[in-house]
Chain A
Amino acid sequence: MLYDIKLKITYKYDNDADVSRHIVRLVPADLPGEQRLVAGTLTIRPKPDEWINRVDFFGNKNVELAFLNLHREITFSVQARIERMDIISFLDMSPRLSNLASEIAGYQGVGSWAPHHFVGPSLRVPIDKSTTEYARNIIKDDTSVLDAIKAIGSALYRDMRYDPEATTVETPMLEAFKCRHGVCQDFSHIMIACLRGIGIPAGYVSGFLRTIPPPGKTRLEGADAMHAWVRAWCGSNMGWIEFDPTNDMLTGTDHVVIARGRDYSDVAPIKGVMRTHGEHTSKQAVDVIPIKQ
C-alpha cells in the first residue's frame, strides 16, 4: 500500500517561552521489509535555532530542536509518502508460554530489540497485580505465546470502552485500567502491562492508522489521528509481532510505524522542556491518504 501522510501540530503558549528544547518523532520510519519511506519532510515554524538529527537506542529517528528567542507558538508539519508492505500471514512458531522464560534467559545480548528491555516495568507501565491477574484469568492453559497475545488483546477490546474524552496523555495507565476506558495509548499501555505481567516481553509503537470511511461517505480532511499499538516478543524463532488492541487485530497495511520503544515516553511524538510559565494548548490534523496504483 502506498500512502501520502500529512500532519500538522500547533502548540500555543499562554506566555512567551524564552528558550525551549524539544525532541520530535513525527516522520514515518524506514523499516526494511516492512515499510519504505519514499519521501518525508519535517517543517517547523518558527525556524529552530538548533536542529540535530540522531537515532535513538531503539533505532528511531529523533530530531532535537532548540528555540533561543521568545516564542508563543510552534508549528510542526510532516509531508511523507510511504509504502507499507503486505504482511504475509505467518505460522505460529511461538513457544508455549511456560517455555518463554528460559528462552529469554538464554538470550545473551542487550541490543535494541533484545527481549530483556521489555519484561520489567517502564516509566509509564508499572507491573501491577491488577493487570497481571486480569491477564492470568484470560490465559488459563499453557497456550502458545502468540495465542496468549491475541487473547489478551481481544479481551481488552471486549472489556474496555473507547472514550477520547475520558483520559489525557498524562492519565496513569492503572487509572485508565480501573475505569476500563481510554484511547489507543491507554489500551496499549494496559496490554503491555498485562503481557509483561505474565512474562511476555512487550513494547509500544506509535504511528498512523488509515481510517476507512463508512460506506458511501468520503474521507474527511484532517480527521485521521495518530495511533498507538503493541509489539510483543514470541520467542527467538518467531521474533516480534504487533497487535492493535484498540481495533482487535494484528497490525496490517493500514498501520504506519513512526517509532517503537518500551512505552509512550520512549516514542512521544513531541517532548519539550521550556522556560516559561502558564499553560499551552495544542491542535493537530492528520491525513493518511491511500494512493491508487
Chain B
Amino acid sequence: MSQQGKKAVDDPVALLLEDYKTMKDVPDELIGPEGNIRPVWSSLIAALSKMSHEEITLRKARGDQYLRDAGVFYRQYGTQDAAERDWPLSHMPVLIDEEEWNKISAGLSQRAELLEQVVADIYGDNQLVAKGHLPASLVANNPEWLRPLVGVKPHSDHFLHFVAFDIGRGPNGEWWVIGDRTQAPSGAGFALENRIATTRVYADHYARSNVFRLAGFFRTFRDALLALRENDDSRVGILTPGPMNDTYFEHAYIARYLGFMLLEGEDLAVRNGQLMVRTVAGLRPVSVLWRRLDAIWADPLELDESSRLGTAGLLGAVRSGNVTMVNALGTGILETRALMAFLPRICKALTGQPLAIPNIATWWCGQPKERQYVKENAQRMTIGNAFATRPLFDLDDVSAVAGTFNRDIKQTIESWIDHGADHLVGQEAVTLSTTPAFDGDKLVPRPMNLRVFLARTADGWQVMPGGFARIGPSSDSAALALQRGGSVADVWVVSKNPVPTETMLGAAKGPFTRQQPGVLPSRSADNLFWLGRYVERAEHTIRLLRAYHIRLAESGSELTPLLEYLGEFLESMDTEVAEGLPNSVINTLASASNAAGHVRDRFSVDGWLALDDLSKTVRGMSKTATPGDDMARAMSVLLRKLSGFSGLVHENMYRFTSWRFLSIGRSLERAMSLTNLLSAFTDATAPDGSLDMAIEVADSSMTHRRRYAVATNRDTVVDLLALDPLNPRAIFYQLNDISGHINFLPGADQNRQLTPLQRTILQAHTSLELHTPSSLDITALNSLSGELASLSDHLSAAYLR
C-alpha cells in the first residue's frame, strides 16, 4: 500500500507497510476496501511503527524464548523420524473487531447445533436418508459411520461437546466455513500457547488493548466437563494416542492446564460396563473422557482390531451409559467433506433457517446433475475424496486442483470422475483473505484461515473469543497446511470497551470446585520408575567408563590387569569399551527419554529440556570422542549434565506419588549397581587398585579419606559403600529410602498385614543391617542382588500392571 501525500520516510506507518501490497479482488484484514487501515488495527500498527529494528527483533525473540522454555512443539509426519518441530509462531496476531466476532459466534453456534441434530439422526432413525436429504451411500460407505454405535444414545443426551470450525473470508468479504472438526479437534491448547507467546511480544500494548481473554472459556469448559461426571468420586480424563501423535504436546499441556488426568488406552479397563483407570491404588472410575484419539482406534474388540491404542470393551461402557465421551464416538462422520454439499438443504429442512455462515460450495459427484457440473467446472474447483475428513488444504489423497492432478495420474479428469463418482466431491476453489505477517521488519499480506473453538455448557454453546490462525507461507491460499511450512498466529478479538480479566481460578462466587484428588495411573508410575532407573543406570555406566578411560590415559594405552578386569566388567553390562562412546549409554538415555515422553504431563518442562539436551550431547559425542583422555573428559561433561537433570527433577518435583516412583527407581537401580560393583571389585581375586576404583566410581573417595584414617581395605570399602546409613552412595542408605517411600504408597496401611513388597524390603533391609563388613562376602552380596531383583518384581506386580 502506498499512502498519498506523505513520503514514506516521514511516516513510520508507511515505512512499516512499504511492502504491504494487497491483491486485487482479495480482501485484506488490515486494509479496508477504501485503502485505509481498519480501525481495529490502528493502535497496534502505530505501536509497531514506532519500534526500531532492534526492538522488533528483541520482542520476537522474547516470544520464541517463551515457546522454547515451555517446550512447545508439534510432530511432523512423513519425514523419516517424525521429528519434533519448533512451533512456527507468526509474531503478528490477527485482529478481529468484537462486532464482527459476535456475528461469527452466532453463525458457528447455529452450525454446531445443526451438526448435533444431524449426527443424532445419523445414529438414530435416519430420517435424513429416508426423506432424501442425505444419500444413503454417504452414510453406509462412510468409514466414520460406526455400526456398533448405531442406535446408542449418548448418556449426556448430546453427541457434541467441543467442536471447532475452520473459517476463512472469501472474495466478497463474507466468512465461509471450510471445515468442520467434530471428531477430536486439536488446537485449543496451541491457541493458549500462541496467546502467551504473543503477549510476550506485545506485553505493554496487549495490556492496554481491549483484547478478550481466553481463560474464561477454558474455565467454563472445565466446569462443564466436571458437571458431566456421575458423581464427585469419578474422574475426567483426557484420552491421548500417546507421544507419537502430532499434537501430543497439546494433550499433555491441556491436561496440566485443566487439571485432568492424561490417559492412554492402556491406562483404561472396563469392569461390568464401568470405565476404570488403572492406578497405583487400584481401579478407579472414569465417567468423562475428552478424547483426542480418533474413534476407530478406541476399542480393538469392536472397532479396528489392529489398534494398540484403544481399550477393549470401551464401546460396552458407552452402551451401558456409564461414560460420556467428548465427543461421542462416531461424530467423526460430520467431518466428511461431501456432507457440506447437503448441509445447506438440511439446515433449511431441520431449522427452517438458512445457514448463517455458508460453507464453501460443494458438489457430490454421486448425483448425475452435480457430477456433470463438476466436470464442466473442474477448472475452478478442488476435486477429491468425498469421504475425506482432513482439512481442505491437506491434499493427502489424489485430488485435482483447478483442473490438474496433484499426482501422476494417467487419466482424464472426466473419466476419473466417472469411474469413482460416488467417492468424489468437487469444492469451489477459494481465495482467502490476507492478513499481515512479518517478512523481516516489514509486514506483508499472507492468506489465512481461522480455527474457532466452541464448547457446550449449561447455557448453550460458548465460543472461545480468539483462536488459532493459520498463515500461508506465500500468497497462495492453497498452501495453508501447517505440515507444509505455514505458520500460526494468535487471534485477538478486540472490543471498543475494557474487557474483564479472567483467570482459570475464577471468582469466588457460588460453590467452589474442588480439585480432583490426584491418582497416579499405573502406566505413568511405571514410566517414572523406569525413568529413575535408566537415568541412574546411565550415570553408573558413565562413572565406570570415566574410571576406565582415566586409567587408560595414565597407562599410555597399555592394558593393565585392572583395566582388563574393568573392561570385562563393563562388557558384562553390554558396554563395549574398545571404541568411543558405547551404544549402551546412548540406548539407556534413549530409553530414559522415551519413558519421560510418556509422562510429560507430570514432569517439569525444565527437566524435559535438560534430558533433551543430554541426548543431543550424547549423540554429538558418539561421533567424536576417542578412547583415553578425550573420553574421560567427555564422561565428565555427561556427568555434569546428568546431575543437572537429576537436580532439576528432584529439587522441583512435588513430593507426591509420582515423585516416589521416580525415587524408588533411582534408589533401587543404585542399590543394584553398588551391589554388583562390590561383588566384582572387593573379591579377593580382583586386581590391585580395585578397591580405590570402586570408591572412585561410587564418588566416595573424599568421604573415605575423612571417615577412615587408613588406606582402603576391603572392610572400609564395604562399610562405606554397603552398610553406611549416612552415605547416599551406600546400599543400606538406598534401602532406607526405598522402605520410606513404600510405606507411603497406597495399600501400605501400617495397621494391616505387611504386603509382599513390604515383606521383601524388610527382609533385605534387616539382613543387611545385621551384616558386618567381613560377613558381607561375595556370597552374601550375590544373595542381596537376588533380593533386590525380586523387590522390583513385587513392585511391578503391586502397582505397575
Contacts and interface: CB of A to CB of B under 8 A. Distances in A.
A109 B136 contact: yes
A101 B148 CA distance: 27
Interface in B96-137: 126, 129-132, 135-137
A116 B301 contact: no
B391 interface: no
A224 to B, nearest CB: 28
A19 B312 CA distance: 10
A46 B131 CA distance: 50
B801 A116 contact: no
B272 interface: yes
A18 B132 contact: no
A118 to B, nearest CB: 9
Interface in A100-131: 105, 107-111, 114, 116-117, 119-120
A139 interface: no
Nearest to B319: A54
B665 interface: no
A66 interface: yes
B607 interface: no
Nearest to B366: A105
Interface stretch (B139-147, B485-493, B773-781): B139-147
A56 B319 CA distance: 12
A119 B130 contact: no
B747 interface: no
A271 B396 CA distance: 33
Question: How large, as a class, is the contact surface on chain B?
Answer: 20 to 34
B71 interface: no
A108 B312 CA distance: 34
A179 interface: no
Interface in A258-291: 265, 271-273
Interface in A11-51: 18-19, 21-23, 50
Nearest to A111: B126
B56 interface: no
A57 interface: yes
Given A120-B141, A273-B312, A57 B148 contact: yes
B301 A56 contact: no
Contacts of B150: 57
A88 interface: no
A21 B312 contact: yes
B148 A110 contact: no
B141 A116 contact: yes
A154 B689 CA distance: 85
B18 interface: no
A68 interface: yes
Interface string B252-293: 000000000000000001111100000000000000000000
Contacts of B136: 107-110, 114, 116
B300 A273 contact: yes
Contacts of B270: 21, 66
B140 A116 contact: yes
A4 interface: no
Interface in B584-630: none
Nearest to B801: A18
Given A116-B136, A116-B137, A271 B126 contact: no
Name which of A52, A110, A116 has the most chain B CB atoms within 10 A of its CB: A110
Given A64-B316, A66-B313, A110-B129, A19 B140 contact: no
Contacts of A105: 135, 137
A155 B313 CA distance: 42
A50 B272 contact: yes
Given A50-B272, A57-B148, A110 B139 contact: yes
Contacts of A22: 301
B322 to A, nearest CB: 13
A107 B387 CA distance: 20
Nearest to B122: A110
A57 B801 CA distance: 35
A134 to B, nearest CB: 18
Interface in A46-96: 50, 52, 54, 56-58, 64, 66, 68
B428 interface: no
Contacts of A272: 301
A278 B242 CA distance: 25
B302 interface: yes
A56 B312 contact: no
B305 interface: yes
A49 B270 CA distance: 12
B141 A119 contact: yes
A105 B273 CA distance: 39
Contacts of A50: 271-272
Contacts of B140: 110, 114, 116-117, 120
Contact of B301 (A18, A57, A271): A271
B301 A109 contact: no
A23 B270 CA distance: 14
Nearest to A273: B312
Given A19-B269, A57-B147, A110 B313 contact: no
A273 B301 contact: yes
A19 B305 CA distance: 17
A2 B532 CA distance: 67
B305 A265 contact: yes
A68 B278 CA distance: 14
Nearest to B312: A273
Interface in B357-385: none
Contacts of B305: 265, 271, 273
Nearest to A104: B137
A23 B269 CA distance: 16
A240 B194 CA distance: 57
Contact of A108 (B129, B147, B272): B129
Contacts of A273: 300-301, 305, 312
Given A21-B301, A21-B313, A57-B150, A109 B129 contact: yes
Contacts of B131: 108
Contact of B126 (A64, A68, A109): A109
A109 B130 contact: yes
Contacts of A64: 301, 313, 316
Name which of A21, A23, A58, A117 has the most chain B CB atoms within 10 A of its CB: A21
A276 B506 CA distance: 47
Contacts of A108: 129-132, 136
A21 to B, nearest CB: 4
A56 B135 CA distance: 23
Contacts of A109: 126, 129-130, 136
A235 to B, nearest CB: 16
A54 B140 CA distance: 22
A109 B130 CA distance: 6
Nearest to B133: A108
A249 B273 CA distance: 44
Contacts of A265: 305
Contacts of B141: 116, 119-120
Contacts of A114: 136, 140
Interface in B44-99: none
A107 B136 CA distance: 8
Nearest to B151: A57
Contacts of B137: 105, 116, 119
A195 B129 CA distance: 25
A40 B271 CA distance: 27
A56 B129 contact: no
A56 B316 CA distance: 12
Nearest to A268: B305
A23 B301 contact: yes
Given A18-B801, A108-B136, A117-B140, A68 B130 contact: no
Given A50-B272, A105-B135, A273-B305, 13 more contacts: A21-B270, A23-B301, A52-B316, A54-B319, A57-B148, A68-B271, A108-B130, A109-B126, A110-B129, A110-B140, A119-B141, A120-B140, A271-B305
Nearest first, the 5 A-B pairs at minimum CB distance are A116-B140, A273-B312, A57-B147, A120-B141, A21-B312
8 contacts: A50-B271, A57-B147, A64-B316, A111-B126, A116-B136, A120-B140, A265-B305, A272-B301
